[in-house]
Amino acid sequence: MDTALWSIWWVWLAAALVLAILEVLVPGFVFLGFAIGALAVAMLLLNTGLSLGLPLLLLVFAALSLIAWLVLRQVFAARKGQVRRFEDDIND
């Protein structure tokens, strides 16, 4: 596989779309951070026009995905001492 393929912004956008679809199918916010990281790399490549190598792109993707996952965890996690309660059953 040619490594220049990974320098194209729409490849990362397609990867973000696939990861977002996986997030819908697999619950638990597992793939959402990766989808946001891939989307951020796509926007970085689109807006700057950089031609980075695959190892550097994967490093940027990993760092952005980690940051996105940490932000999502802060936003969607239950606060310390709080318990999430559901008053209504979806079957009612």
Per-domain residue ranges of the chain = 3-76
Q: Backbone dihedral region of 47: left (phi > 0), alpha (psi from -120 to 50 degrees) or beta?
A: alpha
- Residue 32 near residue 66, CB atoms below 8 Å: no
Per-residue pLDDT, 1: 47
Give 41-87 pLDDT, tens digit per residue: 999 999 987 778 888 999 999 999 999 999 988 887 767 767 767 67
Closest CA to 71 of 29, 25, 38, 43: 29
More confident: 9 or 62:
62
